[in-house]
Structures are given as structure tokens and as C-alpha cells.
Amino acid sequence: MLHPLQRKIDALSRLSRWADALRGASIVVAALISAVAALAALDYLLRIEDRGVRIILTLSAAGLLVWTLYRFLIKRCFARRGEVDYARAVERAFPQLRNRLASSLQFLRLAEDDPTAGSPALRRAVIESTEADARSLDFASIVDVRRPAFTAALAGAICLLAAALALCEPELARIAVLRIVNPLGESSWPADDGRAIAPPAEPPALEALSIRLVPPAYSGLPPADSKRHIRALRGTRVIMSGRADRPAASAALCLESGEKIPARIVGDGRSFSIGAGDAPFVVERSEAYWIELAGRDGSLSSGERWHVQAVADEPPTVAVTRPAADLYVAPDAAVPIGIAAEDDLAVARIELAYQSNGQAERRAAICTGPERAVPGEGARREADFRWNLAPLRLQTGTTVTYHAAAEDYSGQSAESESRRLTIVSADELLSRIADRMKLIAAELGRARAMQQKCRDRAESARSDAARQPDRSDLDALQALEHAQREVRQLLANDGDGILKQVRALAADLEINRVENRPLRLLLASIADVLDRLERERLSAIARELAAAVKSLRLELDERSAALGATAASLAAAVENQNAVAAVLDELIGRIDRSDAEGGLFLQLALLLHDQQAFSERTASIGRRTLGRRLNNLAPQESAELADASAAQRELARRFDRLVGQVDNLSYDMQAAADQIELNRIGRAVAAQKRIVGALKELLGLDEEGEQADAPPGEHGIEIQNDRAGKPSDSPGDTARPGDKPGSAAEGDEPPTVEPDAEQTRARILRLWGELPPSVRAQFPQTPGEDFPPEYERMIAEYFRRLADRGEERGEGRGESSK
């Protein structure tokens, strides 16, 4: 039997639940009837016949019903609330209970003899005290019944209003309910005259559609058919022709942007065309489109949508392929320039833009395509040409900034990264060439030392191969393989190896027109030897070391088939390493032996180069001043004569500093300067021709061996081959800088280190002649032993002059001592 406190709490619980149920049900009924009435009114006013929209309306009503049921009825009525929860609510309403009601209810649920519940007498006292205080209290008063009553009254009013409307128009109410309950049914609203509204007639539907794309004229692309999903170049004109399944009153192309292009109805009313008349359809942007067909009864058809993808004509890209970096060049250097340009359609024009020391930019056309793009041609154009700087009359210290520019047939252009040419004097050029030769020699020495260390490690690993190997031997062999790879990269790597440095220096000699054939041949020989080392020795070392590592792994795995293979591979690697070290020693020796005469040859070549250029300048001045007296010349012309005379004297001083033994040439240079100063141009030109001839004779050059340069244009640009301006799908093969016809053949063996003594003596006697003993003692090894026979006369004459000079000085010292 329940205690009085429990009975009062149970009555309170039932009352609270009934109040929540009444309020929740009232809200559900009111919401559902209101929603159905609102949706029915909307359906009636709009006369919605689209079944998809009607399904959405029905789902909306069902969703509202489910939500209100859960939110206001199910959630509240089935909430888990115990008697303790109700007791605490009562305690909040009646503070005089002093939070004892919940405790008393919990005590009532405990057994009388429960040892964990404390004193039974104390519990009874609490329960009796609470019961006495609660006897006069009405727990039901805490339930607010006014809100459920108001909600129920509101729901009843809504129901009465809906019933009144249904009684006034029972047929409309029936149709409204049927259309909401069954959106797929055939129920329809009656017309104003009481008859049902007939469903609209089916509009025309698209039966066939063909699309023709006409690309813009500049692209050179031919017209082509397209699928309904269009992908076209911007500016492409789209021509459509289609056919409907029944006659149409009108048709139009509708774009997602809101534009509508009318179609022209032809024939029986079923065929139409779009874009062929005065209203063209030109692709400008990516968007959706569809064909809208209007029936003769006013019905509209908006069928499937398709997309137009507008492909942008990207600007071209252009790059300077060579030179690969900034250069220091002479004022009249001939710089080889390589330009490559690409475009998604075709490159129309390539130009070289340049400016010096902040002056206005100038442009020279390098390559110009046809007036219109040719399909499949010109997407990539390459141009190789030689840029002769002499017509630009650049001064020492000038910086020429240049870049390539390309333009496509739509007028879009692009520019490459800028490069710089720094104009340097002959002395500075000579210094740079000498420094680069020293760097090459130092790098060869470093490679020689690294190769020797690798060889020693390989020999040590070879000797250790006889004993039982372990993991440390494998680690050491792998480290050796890595170190040998570094040697290979230093010597022959195309990125920054010695081979590339040698070829770059040879290319710079060619660019600056330095007539030093011995140095060119030396560089060509070094390049050929390094290339042969890469192909024959370094690659073989890499293979043998890789085989040694593999076989050692097999030995560590106890595979008997690999026993002994490691030692054999290491032996082959050591043999090739010895050959590489010997060749590097020979190359270093060649460079060291060339230092004695290489500087003189190079400086004489530069002097010849400057004298030839200055002779052309003198002839240019003479065409304006020849036959006129000095006092009749304009001030500017007199100044030009003075400058030319000073320049000629400077050449004379340079010659005196370099080769004091050729006094006659120095005298001729001084005499030529005097003739220029007196405006005796004819005699000056004749003297200068004698000077040039003497310098050529000293260098071993002849007129037949020279190559005449083609006359440069306004910008000094000389097209070298027919690659300039021709389309190409891939970069063409070009000669490597420094490759000369006189370089050693591929099949030649590497130079030996220790030539036969008798052969060496015979070659010395053949090249130098019978020199005096005191002079011959200064040359234990001949620097010219590696030069071809055409230099024998020059070298012999040069050393005979040295010998004569040495004897004259010796006699002079003897006489002075007397």
C-alpha cells in the first residue's frame, strides 16, 4: 500500500502527463489543419498541375506532421520523469518543505532493516515530519492547466473554421484533400464555369539537333561539327539546325546568362536554324544553354540542358635558349642567340628587344609567320642567329639588356626573361679568359685528387675481398660507389661539370672572335678527351662498381655462385680508374705547358682583333676627310681624327708592352698614327694593312684561312641557318659550343703520359730548329708539341726571334762588362 506522500506524487504525475498530452495533440491538430488549408489554397490559386510540385507540397505537409508529433507530443509524453523529479518540483513550489520531500520518498523505498540507510528511527521521524507539513498542501496546484486549455481551445477553433469552410464548399474541400493526400492522382480543380480544367497539351519536343562550329579567322582552324556539349575557342561562331517532333510557333536558344537568341522556323514548322542569320551565336564564356520550343497553343518546352565550354586563346610563351646566362663580351662580339616560342595555335612573330644603359628600347624582327595561321604549323617556332654587336658601336662598360618577344595571331604577346651583355675591354676579356683557364685547371686537379682517393679505396676493397666479407665491407663499397659518382659528375656532368665549362669557354672565344687557334684546339682536345672518358672509362667504372656491390650482397647472402665476382669487378674498376687518373695528369700538364706561350698568343690575337676593327673605323673617317686640309675640317671631324690617333697610339703602347721584340711593327703603328693625325689617310691605311699582315704572320694566320662575316643588318643580326622562322615540333639539334672541325676524332686513344724520349727530341729539332744551347735549356719540353703542322713555321720563327734577342742581350752585357 502506498504511503500518503507517494499517492500525492502519483496523482501529480498523472495530471502533468495529461496536460502535456492535451497541449501536444492540440498543437499537432492545429498545425496540420492550418498547413493543409494553406497548401490547398496555394494549389487552388496557382492551379498547380506539375506533379513534381504537388509531391513537394504533400511532403511538406507530411514533414510538418512528423515534426510536430515528435516535438510536442511524443517527446513530452514519453519523457522519463520519476517521483523524485516531481518531488523536487514540489519543493521548489513550497519552500517550507525544506528539501525533505525527495529524501522522504527515497527513505520510503528502503527496507526497514537496511544497514546502509542509517537509523530507522531517524528516517521515520523525517517521513512523519514531511507528511505533516505536506498534509495541507495541494501538489496539483503546481501544474499550469491554463496553457493546455488555451491550446486545446485554439485547436478547436481551427477545426471549427475548417469544418465551416468544408461545409460551404464540400467539393473543393474534397478535391483539396485528395490532391494533398494523393499528388499523383488525376483530381483537378474545376474551372470558373464549374468544369474541370483539362491538362495542357504537350509542347513540341526537340527531335534532332546538329551543330557546326566556325572558328575565328585568325586561328586558321577549319569549320567542324560538334556534339551538343560544345567545346570551342572563344570567338567561335556556332550554327545550329534542328527539328521538333511537331510544328512549333517559335524557337529560341536560351543561355544561362539570360540572353535569348531567336531561331528561324523553316519548312513545315518543325525545322529551325539558329546563328545563321542576323542574330549570331558567338562563344564568349562557359555557360549552359537549352533550346526553347513554343507550341501553337502557347505551350513551352524547355528540354535538356547542355554546356558550352569556352576555351581561351592563351598568350604565347617565349624563352631565350642560348646563351644560358649573362655574358661579358667584346664591343664587336658576335653573340649566338637561340629563341624558342610556343603557342596553343601558332606563333606569328618573334622579335629581339634590347636597350643599353637606359636608352630607348629597340626591336628587331627575327621571325615572321604567314599572314594567317596554317593549321598544324607554327605552334612552336625556333630561331638561331648570330647577333653582331659591331654596328651598335658599344663602348666599354656598356650593359646591353635584351629579351625575346613573341606574338600570336590574335595579337597577344609575351616576353622572356631579360639577359645582359656587359661590354668589356680587351684587357679585361683577356683576364677573364685566363681566370677561367686557371679554374678549369684547378677543377681538373681536384678531380684528379678525388679519383686517386677512389682508386686507393677500390684497391683496398679489392685486397679485402679475399677474406670473409661482412656488412661493413658492403657499406664501404657503397660509399666508394657514391664517391666515384661525384667524380663522374665533376668531370662530365652537363649541369656544371668541367666539360660544360670547357665548352662554354670555347663558345666565348668564338663569340668574341678571339683568333687564338692554339687555345681553341686545346679546349677542343680537352672536351674530346673528357667526352671519351665519360663514354669509355667513367661509365665502365660505374658498371663495375655496381656489379661489385651486387655480387658482394650475394656473397653476404651465402650464394656460392657469386664468390669471386666482387674481386674481379673491383680489379676492372681499378684498371679504369688508373687510366682516368693518367689522362687527367696529361690534361693538367697540357694546360701548364700552354701557360708560357698561351698568354702571348691570346694577347696578340686580341690585338689583331682590335686593329682590324680600328682599321674599319679609320677608313670610315677617311671617306669624309680624304683630300681636305686640316684647317678646312669641321671641329667634329678634327676631334674624330684626334680620337682615332689616340686610339691607334694606345694600340701601339699595348703592342710595346706585349711584344717588345717586334720593333718594326711598333714603328709602323706610330707612323700610321702620325699619318692619321696629318689627314694622310691613304698612307695610314696602307701602313695599317702592313701591320695587320705582320700580326697575322706572327700568329700563323693567312688570308685563305679566314672566314668573312656576312654584312650585318641594322641591328647586327645575322641568320645562321634556316631554322629561324621555321616551325618545329621539337627543339632541333645544335652544335655544342666548342665543337670544331679540328677537334680530335671520337676513335682516338687518350694521350699518353710518357712519350718516347727519342721521338720527343726529333720533334723538338723539327719544330724549333737548332736553337743556341742557352736558349734551348730554357725549354726542356716544347709547348708546341700538341699543335698541328700548320703552326710549325710560326712557332719556329717565334723562338728563333727569342733566341736572337737573347744572344743580342748576351752580347750587350758582355760589351758593357768590358
Per the listing, cell 676524332 goes with 745
The backbone torsions φ and ψ at residue 211, rounded to the nearest 5 degrees and listed phi first, read: -130, 135
pLDDT at 407: 93
pLDDT at 670: 80
Residue 42, C-alpha cell as written in the block: 496555394
Per the listing, cell 613573341 goes with 406
Q: Which residues contact 355 (CB under 8 A, 6 or more apart)?
A: 361, 362, 400, 401, 402
pLDDT at 563: 52
Q: Which residues contact 605 (CB under 8 A, 6 or more apart)?
A: 514, 515, 516, 699
For residue 318, pLDDT over 90 is answered with yes
**Per-range mean pLDDT, top range of 479-493, 548-562, 780-794:** 479-493
pLDDT grade for 703, boundaries at 50, 70 and 90:
very low
**Cα 186 from chain centroid?**
64
pLDDT grade for 729, boundaries at 50, 70 and 90:
very low
Q: In 599-753, which ranges are E strands?
A: 717-719, 726-727
pLDDT at 352: 94
pLDDT at 151: 85
Average of per-residue pLDDT across 463-479: 81
- Residue 422 carries which DSSP code? E
Average of per-residue pLDDT across 370-382: 84
pLDDT at 518: 75
pLDDT grade for 200, boundaries at 50, 70 and 90:
low
Average of per-residue pLDDT across 84-98: 75
pLDDT at 273: 92
What are the distances in angstroms from CA 233 to CA 312, 679, 771? 6, 68, 81
User: What gap in Å lies between CA 542 and CA 44, rounded to an integer?
Assistant: 90
3-state secondary structure of 492: helix
User: What gap in Å lies between CA 765 and CA 780, rounded to an integer?
Assistant: 12
More confident residue, 236 or 130: 236
pLDDT at 605: 61
More confident residue, 245 or 464: 245
Asked whether 482 and 453 are in contact (CB, 8 A), the reply is no
Q: Which residues contact 708 (CB under 8 A, 6 or more apart)?
A: none
More confident residue, 780 or 224: 224
DSSP string, 465-478: TTS---HHHHHHHH
Instruction: Give me the helix-helix angle, 757-768 and 792-817, nearest 10°.
Output: 80
More confident residue, 130 or 756: 130
For residue 292, pLDDT over 50 is answered with yes
**Per-range mean pLDDT, top range of 296-300, 416-420, 706-710, 741-745:** 416-420
Mean pLDDT over all residues of the chain? 77
More confident residue, 129 or 253: 253
Cis peptide before 323 (omega within 30 of 0): yes
Average of per-residue pLDDT across 100-126: 72
Average of per-residue pLDDT across 458-463: 85
Which has the closest alpha carbon to 656: 597, 616, 604? 604
For residue 353, pLDDT over 90 is answered with yes
Our CA dihedral for 804, 808, 809, 810, rounded to 10 degrees, sits at 100
Per the listing, cell 622562322 goes with 725
Q: pLDDT tens digits, residue range 229-262? A: 999 999 999 999 999 988 888 899 999 988 999 9
pLDDT at 674: 82
More confident residue, 539 or 88: 539
DSSP string, 496-555: TSHHHHHHHHHHHHHHTT---HHHHHHHHHHHHHHHHIIIIIIHHHHHHHHHHHHHHHHH
pLDDT at 495: 67
Average of per-residue pLDDT across 755-783: 45
pLDDT grade for 747, boundaries at 50, 70 and 90:
very low
More confident residue, 97 or 498: 498
What are the distances in angstroms from CA 124 to CA 94, 113, 128? 21, 12, 6
- Residue 73 carries which DSSP code? I
pLDDT grade for 727, boundaries at 50, 70 and 90:
very low
Average of per-residue pLDDT across 113-126: 72
**Per-range mean pLDDT, top range of 107-116, 164-173, 511-520:** 164-173
Share of the chain above pLDDT 90, in %: 18
pLDDT at 800: 55
Neighbouring C-alpha atoms within 13 Å toward the C-beta of 206: 21
